[in-house]
Chain A
Amino acid sequence: MSDFQTFIYVRIPEMWRLALPPFGNHMLSLIKDTALISIIGLNETMFVAKQAITVTGEPFTMYIVVGAIYLGFSTIVTLFVMGVEKFGERTTVGAK
């Protein structure tokens, strides 16, 4: 095989399976870091919560809701990565 073919048929299929779990973790960090955008005043979830608090006067409730939204996102990403991981491992599971 040429270098290019080795890369396409051997390295990539091996590689993505190994890279997936850390990549999944990184996705989770990234999602959570989006909350930081509120500090510079962009109109994201945290920022909206802040505005809501000025109206309702219930910071605990509002931030718990924000937490729950993020937890939902994290869960979806985790489940998705787990699913893809399972798909990737179908060739590595031995005979039963």
Chain B
Amino acid sequence: MSFDLHLIVESLPVMMMGLGITIKLLIISGVLGLVLAIFLLLMRISGKWYLNFPAQMYIYVFRGTPILVQIFIVYYGLPQFEVVRDSVFWPILREPTGCAILALSLNTGAYVSEILRGGVLGVSKGLLEAGSALGMSAYHKFVYITAPIATRLALPAYSNDVISLLKSTALASTITIADMTGIARTIVADTYAPYEIFISLAIVYLIFTFGIQKLFGLIERYLGRYTIREQPHE
């Protein structure tokens, strides 16, 4: 087997044309998933069973089934119903990109809400008691004590989930979307050179992952500035 470097040089710029779609999938589903996760989190910690239980079931189902199945249910499955085809959501669900974003958001929301819950549980009880003792309301305690500390605690696990999400966006190619992976698959079908193309694709994802890690590292350093003990200066 020969390894065709020339082919890599030629096809890399073509694959990069899919970078925009990958980033779009990542950012939109990341943001929507985060919003969903916050709702699920609030349901989980509400202390009301009729909110907690549905949220728990949702998380159980979406974490217990493969993302690929979820994407297929949304893309191939939902149009089976006339109600869906007649609904106002049809313009979104008709497009593969809309379906991918919906499925990815629903999926990452389930994971992220559990990550956030871990952060909330990590906030020491004593701090909330101190808030209570100062007469702060439950709302004020959540906004000014629990939320900022939990965010900082959840950040490392959250950055891992963003990286998972990035990798999940590659599955969008299975429903005809021309993201980086989608383009790579087309090139492979034309050139019969899977090694060159997929290895260079893997390297592009690797660099992307590295960038995300660095970015979150910076955010972590900023949010965690209060956890660093300076040299005591007299």
Contacts and interface: CB of A to CB of B under 8 A. Distances in A.
Contacts of A39: 68, 174
Contacts of A63: 69, 72-73, 76-77
Nearest to B171: A36
A75 B64 contact: yes
Interface string B55-75: 000001101111111101100
A75 B174 CA distance: 27
For chain A, the bracket of interface size reads 20 to 34
Interface residues of B, number: 19
Given A53-B76, A59-B77, A67 B69 contact: yes
B64 A71 contact: yes
B80 A67 contact: no
Interface in A63-87: 63-64, 66-67, 70-71, 74-75, 78
Contact of A35 (B68, B78, B81): B68
A45 to B, nearest CB: 9
B192 to A, nearest CB: 15
A74 B77 contact: no
Contacts of B65: 32, 67, 70-71, 74
Given A39-B174, A74-B64, A75-B64, A58 B80 contact: yes
A59 B72 contact: yes
Nearest to B73: A63
Given A39-B174, A71-B64, A74-B64, A66 B78 contact: no
A60 B174 CA distance: 17
Interface of A: 28, 32-36, 38-39, 46, 53, 58-61, 63-64, 66-67, 70-71, 74-75, 78
20 contacts: A32-B64, A32-B65, A32-B66, A35-B68, A53-B76, A58-B80, A59-B76, A60-B77, A60-B81, A61-B80, A63-B69, A63-B73, A63-B76, A66-B69, A67-B69, A70-B65, A71-B65, A74-B63, A74-B64, A78-B64
